[in-house]
């Protein structure tokens, strides 16, 4: 700290005056003046001492500040080092992530297991038979989400059948079958493409993929979907959708390769009766070497909620027997129309071409059309009535000799009419009556006693 120059000046002046002035002059200074001056000098000394103390204290403080600054500088250095290390670590992680993507934190846990599916109980009365509870079915779907873009899903069908063996043929007693409906690994490659691999439901038409018990308004499958095309196949598939505009319109696509139908015969002869549509690689020799290829392209056009039209073209082709390189091919046209929340019409046309050893190239084909109307559309304010839906379906099939071998062609018409009662959106009761008109060497229904009519009640629950 600076000592004021005035103090030094005063002191210096006093000293000079004491030394320079003659004795006589000093004798002339009064005692009072001398005391006053002395007092001033003493005060000056005190102030000087205080100032020196303050200065010493300031120096001490300065030294402490210096130490603090040094510590801070040291800490800053350490922080900079930590930041540099963190940046290096982040860069390393980023490099690792680009090679092996790690799903980021998102809402909820990364992994999740969810159970979905459906269950049914069926009661039936077939002409010439006693009525009975015919089957109980539990079809769980296990969904395991491994990350935001990886899902494993598997659907089972565990069914207890009365008067049926495990192969679905009419037999005394009951049997329980456990089937793997599908088991696939789905990987969302990007917004427009998904890779699917495993046992897949085949997109030949739409029924294969949308046929759970609580989705289908009639307990049994359309004839052509059961008899003429495979429901699933083992292989890989690329699929996705491309939106068109902002109205919900879209174009969908699927392209796949699967083992495909094969021969169920114990030899390599490709007779018509040996065609095993669900063959893949089963417990019978797989008599073909090359997989089948197929796909579907669809167009979905909604013009307002509950009003939409969907049209799809799909097909599959490949060898089913290496015997003379016999091929099996199918072409499917599917369509669905919704006119409000209460009216639905849908159907599929299926044409197949089968090369055989015994009857040459045959052309089994057929179609079905199904229509449904919810009574809620009538606007009646009556309890329970709004929960009913009327359903009707017509099936036509021409096997072109497929089922009877060389014995001839079987043509079948089936008419189904029924109602659905919705206890809730996922619990529904179905009552259907159907009758068959089938001519040829292999009249349908195959699994029945040849009865042309049957009455079926079913309780379905989707979960």
Partner 1 sequence: MSTTNQLISIKGGRRPGILLALLASVIFASSIAIFAGPDTNAPPAQVSDAKADAAKQAKKVKKKKLTGAELYQLNCNRCHAERYPTEFTPAQWKTIMIHMRVRANLPAAQAREILKYLQEDSGN
- List Cβ neighbours of 141 (8 Å cut-off, separation of 6 or more): 115, 116, 117, 153, 154, 155, 156
CA distance 57 to 44: 20
Q: Is 47 in the site for partner 1 (CB under 8 A)?
A: no
> Cβ 233 to partner 1, closest distance in Å?
16
Tokens standing for 454?
A: 């049957």
Element (H, E) at 333: strand 326-339
- Nearer Cβ to partner 1, position 145 or 288? 145
Distances (CA, A) of 126 to 134, 167, 257, 434, 463: 10, 20, 40, 10, 30
> Residue 92 Cβ, how far from partner 1 at the closest point, in Å?
30
Region from 51-59, 79-87, 252-260, 407-415 binding partner 1, contact rule CB under 8 A: 252-260
- Relative to beta strand 170-190, strand 193-201 is antiparallel
Three-state DSSP at 253 gives strand
In terms of CB distance, is 278 or 345 closer to partner 1?
345
Binding mask 296-315 for partner 1 (x = CB under 8 A): --x---x--xx-x-x-----
CB of 264 to partner 1, least distance (A): 29
Tell me, by CB under 8 A, how many residues bind partner 1: 53
Nearest partner of 373 among 394, 342, 347, judged by Cα: 342
Binding test (CB under 8 A) with partner 1, winner from 43, 59, 79, 247: 247
- Would you count residue 462 as binding partner 1 (CB under 8 A)? yes
Tell the smallest beta-carbon distance from residue 90 to partner 1 (Å).
28
Rounded CA gap, 239 and 382, in Å?
45
State the minimum distance, in angstroms, from the CB of residue 295 to partner 1. 12
- Cα–Cα distances (Å) from 270 to 227, 265, 319, 408, in that order, read 18, 8, 11, 17
Is 133 or 192 the residue whose CB approaches partner 1 more closely?
A: 192
Is residue 404 within 8 A of residue 441, CB to CB? The reply is yes
* Shorter beta-carbon distance to partner 1: residue 132 or 154: 154
What is the spatial distance between Cα 256 and Cα 238, in angstroms, rounded to a whole number?
6
Residue position matching structure tokens 């095993």: 276
Q: What are phi and psi of 322, to 5 degrees?
A: -75, -10
Interface with partner 1, residue 345, by CB under 8 A: no
Q: Report 207-226 residues binding partner 1 (CB under 8 A).
A: 209-210, 214-215
Shortest spacing between CB 463 and partner 1, in angstroms: 9
Smallest gap from Cβ 238 to partner 1, in A, equals 11
104 binds partner 1 (CB under 8 A): no
Residue from 45, 243, 406, 449 binding partner 1 (CB under 8 A): 243
**Is the separation of the CB atoms in 316 and 204 below 8 Å?**
yes
Q: Does 450 bind partner 1 (CB under 8 A)?
A: no
Q: Is residue 426 near partner 1 by the rule CB under 8 A?
A: yes
Q: What does 128-196 look like in DSSP terms, one character per residue?
A: TS--EEEEEEEEEEEEEEEETTEEEEEEEEEEEEEEE-TTS-EEEEEEEEEEEEEEEEEEEEETTEEEE
303, 189 Cβ separation under 8 angstroms: no
The contact pattern for partner 1, residues 168-187, with x = CB under 8 A and - = no contact, is ------------------x-
The residues that touch partner 1, with contacts defined as CB under 8 A, are 107-109, 112-114, 116, 141, 143-145, 148-149, 151, 153, 186, 188, 190-192, 194, 196, 209-210, 214-215, 239-243, 245-248, 250, 252-254, 298, 302, 305-306, 308, 310, 336, 338, 341, 422, 425-426, 428, 462
């Amino acid at each position: 700290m600076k000592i004021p120059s005035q103090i030094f000046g005063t002191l210096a002046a006093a000293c000079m005056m004491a030394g320079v002035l003659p004795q006589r002059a000093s004798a002339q200074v009064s005692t009072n003046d001398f005391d006053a001056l002395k007092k001033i000098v003493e005060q000056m000394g005190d102030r000087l001492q205080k100032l020196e103390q303050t200065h010493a204290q300031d120096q001490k403080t300065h030294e402490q500040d210096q130490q603090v600054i040094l510590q801070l500088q040291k800490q800053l250095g350490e922080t900079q080092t930590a930041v540099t290390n963190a940046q290096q670590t982040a860069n390393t992680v980023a490099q690792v992530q680009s090679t092996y993507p790690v799903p980021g934190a998102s809402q909820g846990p990364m992994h999740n297991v969810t159970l979905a599916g459906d269950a049914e109980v069926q009661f039936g009365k077939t002409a010439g038979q006693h009525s009975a509870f015919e089957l109980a079915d539990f079809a769980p779907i296990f969904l395991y989400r491994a990350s935001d873009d990886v899902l494993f899903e598997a659907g089972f069908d565990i069914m207890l059948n009365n008067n049926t063996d495990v192969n679905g043929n009419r037999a005394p007693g009951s049997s329980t079958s456990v089937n793997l409906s599908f088991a696939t690994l789905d990987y969302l490659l990007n917004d427009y493409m998904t890779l699917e691999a495993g046992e897949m439901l085949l997109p030949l038409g739409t029924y294969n993929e949308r046929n759970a018990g609580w989705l289908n308004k009639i307990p049994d499958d359309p004839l052509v979907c059961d008899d003429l095309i495979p429901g699933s196949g083992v292989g890989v598939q690329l699929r996705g959708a491309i939106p068109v505009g902002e109205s919900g319109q879209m174009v969908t696509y699927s392209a796949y390769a699967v083992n495909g139908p094969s021969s169920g015969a114990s030899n390599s002869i490709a007779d018509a009766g040996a065609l095993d549509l669900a063959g893949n690689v089963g417990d019978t020799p797989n008599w073909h070497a090359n997989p089948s290829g197929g796909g579907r392209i669809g167009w979905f056009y909604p013009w307002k909620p509950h009003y939409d039209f969907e049209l799809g073209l799909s097909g599959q082709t490949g060898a089913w027997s290496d015997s003379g390189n016999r091929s099996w091919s199918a072409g499917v046209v599917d369509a669905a129309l919704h006119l409000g929340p209460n009216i639905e019409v849908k159907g599929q046309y299926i044409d197949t071409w089968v090369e055989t050893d015994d009857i040459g190239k045959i052309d089994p084909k057929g179609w079905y059309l199904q229509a449904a109307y919810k009574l809620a559309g009538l606007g009646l304010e009556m309890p329970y009535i709004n929960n009913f839906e009327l359903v009707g379906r017509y099936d036509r099939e021409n096997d072109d000799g497929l089922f009877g071998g060389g014995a001839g062609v079987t043509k079948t018409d089936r008419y189904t009419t029924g109602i659905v009662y919705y206890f809730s959106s996922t619990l529904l009761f179905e009552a259907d009556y159907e009758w068959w008109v089938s001519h040829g060497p292999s009249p349908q229904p195959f699994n029945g006693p040849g009865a042309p009519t049957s009455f079926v009640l079913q309780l379905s629950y989707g979960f």
